[in-house]
A = this chain, B = another copy of it.
């Protein structure tokens, strides 16, 4: 739980009372490789902090292919965002790629904490904003860069992804075919 506290502090320090309340509401979740944290068709009721391990979000498209659109690593906040926020079933699956340790809090518990601790809601607002900026950067790369440029950007900003994730999933994440990524990689 220390990792979470440290991570939080980097975004926005919260009061001791807020941290204590949050700690009490958190539930430790240990999940083995290849299991699922969230499955499509279900409402995702929890927001997680990933302390150890890694995982991915993907959905099955109309052609029956798995489409990976994000990876989660240590110190990331994890949820099926659309489902968690809208309280509706999502199409997203969250699969554990390495044995992982997470801390989870339910939607209800989180919102109760928001009522009691203004600074906790501020923290979440600020984290949301930072994640928004990341997403914006990714959209821009997707929209205006070639496959090769996107791969090179990934190499620079997130080399750990290359070491921990199979190529096919990375290709999907970059929006290209596995064959194309393999060819790009052999030419760099």
Query: Which residues of chain A have a CB within 8 Å of any CB of chain B?
Result: 61, 67, 69, 81-82, 85-86, 114, 118, 121-122, 124-125, 128-133, 135-136, 138-140, 142-144, 175
Contacts and interface: CB of A to CB of B under 8 A. Distances in A.
A175 B144 CA distance: 6
Contact of A121 (B82, B125, B130): B125
A29 B55 CA distance: 46
A interface SS class = helix
B121 A81 contact: no
Contacts of A121: 118, 121-122, 125
Contacts of A144: 61, 67, 175
Count of identical protomers in the assembly: 2
Contacts of A175: 142-144
B131 A69 contact: no
A81 B135 contact: no
Nearest to A144: B67
